[in-house]
Structure formats: C-alpha cells, structure tokens
Structure 1
Amino acid sequence: IHVILNTTSPPSGQSDHVRERHLYTEDKRRGLFLEICPDGVVKGTPIQTENSVLQLRSVRAGETVIQASSSFLYLCANKKGHLWGQRIYTEADCTFKELLLEDGYTLFLSVNHDIPVSLTSKRPPGKHLPPFSRFLPMQNVLHMESGEEKQSEFPMKNKEHLDLDSDDPFGMRLGESVISPAFNLNVPAAR
C-alpha cells in the first residue's frame, strides 16, 4: 500500500475555520501591516492594502497557516527568520504556533525553527523579542470598488487614528453575525 501525502495545501484543521485579517505590528515610531506581495516578498506597509489581507487558518490546536487572500501565497520562515511567500504549502516552513500574549498581541512562532515572525531582520541577543514581532489581527477596512482598493474612513496609518474611546479601538469585533448558542437555549427559570 502506498500513501500519497498532499503537501500543496495545509491539513484541514479541527474546525477548518478561516479568519480574514490584517496583521498589525508597531514599534515606538511607526505601525505596519504584514504584506505578502505577489512576487513572494514579505514586508511592512503603513496602510492596509490588498496584499495585506491575510487568511489565518487553524490546522491543529495552537498552530496556524497564514495565506495572502489576493495571491494565495503562504507565509513561510526559515531558520534565520527570513520571511517569504510561496505558492506550495510546506509544513516545516509555513506553519506557525499562534500564542496570545498577556497584552492582547499575538506572537507567531515558526513550528520547525521556533523563531518569531518579525518584519525586521534585527534579532536582539538573548530571549528578547525582535521588533515588529507582536501582531494584532485586525479586521479588513478596505472596500473593493470596480477592482480598485479604496481606504475606508478608518485609516490605520498610526496610533492617532485609533478610536480609544470605543470599546473596540482596533476594530477587532467579530460583528453581529456571531450569535452565542447559549442565547437560543430554553433554560427553565431558577426557583
């Protein structure tokens, strides 16, 4: 018996749930969105673009695959932390541990190399995180009109555009389409 493994797409996850998000990161001077360009270059951009719209898919508990929505390239990292986009999924380079940090940011670590995804090549000595490695998954605020990108009324060029008086300053709310199953339960009143 021969077993054929399909390495061109990630294994289907527990719920095969896909989140479409932009991954926002910042340092003391500027904020950037992770962008996977059609030529495979991964870089940071100060505004949300078509190339920064990403699909985050859980493939196993705590493990995520990140794919560009426009080019379908997978985010990959090597043992030196270099990032690139490639068309064919390989588990060793394109799967990341997704860790939620205490401050609400998310850290993505290469499963194979245990190195954080970062938009900089600078790697501080010791166990310190490199700059631009803590991400906030944010909702897409781009509106597509006749094939062109149009920035919404909520540009994320820097911190001053955040609505800090809102209960959702980063626009991460799931929306009104998410309904808790508990709302539909007929629970008898306590006596």
Structure 2
Amino acid sequence: MILSVHLLLFFCCGLSLAQLQNDAPTELGCSQSCINQTEFAAMKERLEVVEQKLKDSEDQTADLRRQASSQVIFSAATGGNGPIGPFNTDITLIYRTVITNIGFGYNPYTGIFTAPFYGVYYFTFFYHAGGERPTILFLYKNNQAIAVSNDHATSYDGADNGGNAVFLQLQRGDQVYMRMQANTHVWGSDGHTTFSGLLVTLM
C-alpha cells in the first residue's frame, strides 16, 4: 500500500516537472511556475497524509492479528463420578475433562498448564468434596506453592466446597498446576472440581 503511494507521488512529480518544462509559455515568467510549484507542494502534502493513514491502518491490523494469535483461555474439570483420593503422597491433580483450551496451553494428560507467552495470567480453581475427610489443594507455579484452599474433616458436615484465584506474571515456558496433599480428597466429576486460567495481557 505504501509503495503504491510512493509510485503515485513519483508519477505526479514527473507530470508537474514536464508541465513546467514544456507547457508553460515563457512570457508568463515566474507566475505560472510558482502556481505549479504551489499545487505540487499541496499534492505532496496530501499524499503524505494518505501515506501516514495507510501506515496507521497497517499497524492497527498487525496489532489485531497479534492479539488474535495470542489468545489463551482454558478450563477443565477432573471428570469421573466419585472421590479422588485419599492417597498416601501428594499428587498433581489431573483435570481430564477439557471444557475449553484456546491456545492449547493446558495438557489434560499431565494436568499442567504451560505459558505460551510472557504476560500476566489469571487462574481459578474450585473443588467439591465430602466432609468426612479433609481437602487441601495448592496451586503451584513451577515448583513453588502460590495459593491454597482447604477444609477440615467434620462429623456434622456432609459436603465441602472451596476455591481460590490468583494473578501470576509468567515467563514463556513457566508451568502452573494443582497439587492435592496426601491423605486428602476431592469429588471427581465433569463440573464440580475445576481448574481454569486465561492470559490477561502480554508483557
């Protein structure tokens, strides 16, 4: 687009110069030449404005394409229809039922989200569990526990629900996942215990 503007400007310059050299009667002297130069300057200014608008439009289009290609949104549930745990060791909780996975950052086979871009992300997790045993879930960034949600076992409470949320600044390749503490449990289903995240802004 910008190349076309330059070609048009070059063509107009040639026409104006040719007119100055061949068509202007000598008896008009400087008067006609000054008029032609003024018109040429005005045309050049208009073409420069058009060129800038085209460049701005191309930049905006490039930004929109970049934003569209960097969308990252996922949400998954544990799946199943019954308790998960208790186990005698901490485990990475795997959310096998993928609800949405735009950008394919979440791996339903490992339970791990891997950041495809450097930016700020938002994560949430929720659980449902029976009240007869405790529930302790940690959200991890790489090997560091960042957020936790837990509930103690009670004899009078039939079921428990909990969750948490956090913003994280992640480098490309950073991993976020859920860990369930040993001797605790959650209820597995397609809608009760979930893990979700999205890219808020690129850095």
Range class of TM-score, shorter chain: under 0.3
More helix by share: 2
**Higher-RCO chain (CA-CA 8 Å, sequence separation at least 6):** 2
